Amino acid sequence: MCFELARLIGNRLGPHLRVIDEVHGFKSFDERDLLGFVDGTENPEGVEATEAVLIEDDEDPAFAGGSYLIVQKYSHDLDAWNALTVEQQEAAFGRTKLEDVEFADEDKAPDSHLTLNVIEDEDGEELQIMRFNMPFGRVGAGEFGTFYIAYARTPAVTEEMLENMFLGKSGAAHDRILDFSTAHTGSLFFVPSLDFLDDPSVGASAEDGAAPEPPAPADGSLGIGDLRS
């Protein structure tokens, strides 16, 4: 379905479309990435998922029901990664590889992926996002990677995660995973609701009936992408 959608969009846009990068992902064993760990373990479910991903009426009425999407392309140095022991790999992630069990907080390394990606609000409540990562690769070309795909009701949460990963926090210079994974692209998008697509004026004020302006670019620490994309 994704391939067919891309083909139809390409046909519709014709000469106005220029493809910069094309990557075909796939699902790996047990929902694992190419580093061998289960991906999306912490994804919220049910009501918690809705609260984590969708913009609420009282936050931004004009864009309620929409979401913010960050997409990044990472390549992995699998030779270097697989040269580590399983224990070293687990320390880098902050959870066991086979059983997918998270370490206790006191047992996590300061630069572990989980340590740097847990974001809390002022009340100590964890702020969630929804990940739909996809592994990709070309064996003949020695290309192995992960397409990071994350939805959130505000880009600020994902921005803080990325800041912690790349700039470090609390004694960690950066995320240990980045010693083996390289980010090549990064884009931030606003994903409108179906109601918004059907009628952009649905979120406009009752006074003027005008369609709302596109969201302003994110003020996040890394300034990834442009919400007008």
Distance of CA 186 to the CA centre of its chain: 10
Residue 207, pLDDT score: 44
CATH number among 3.40.50.12500, 3.30.70.270, 3.30.70.1030, 1.20.1090.10, domain 26-203: 3.30.70.1030
Report the predicted TM-score, pTM, of the whole model to 2 decimal places: 0.82
Query: Around Cβ 112, how many Cβ atoms within 10 Å?
Result: 21
Domain ranges of the chain: 26-203
> What is the Cα gyration radius of the chain?
19
Please give the positions annotated as active site: 39
154 closest CA partner among 119, 104, 112: 119
CA dihedral 5, 143, 181, 113 (to 10 degrees): 60
What's the rounded Cα separation, in Å, for the pair 227 and 135? 25
Q: What is the pLDDT along the chain (229 residues), one digit of tens a residue?
A: 989 999 999 999 999 999 888 899 999 999 999 999 999 898 999 999 999 999 999 888 889 999 999 999 999 999 999 999 999 999 999 999 999 999 999 999 999 999 999 999 999 999 999 999 999 999 999 999 999 999 999 999 999 999 999 999 998 999 999 999 999 989 999 999 988 888 866 665 444 555 555 555 444 445 554 443 3
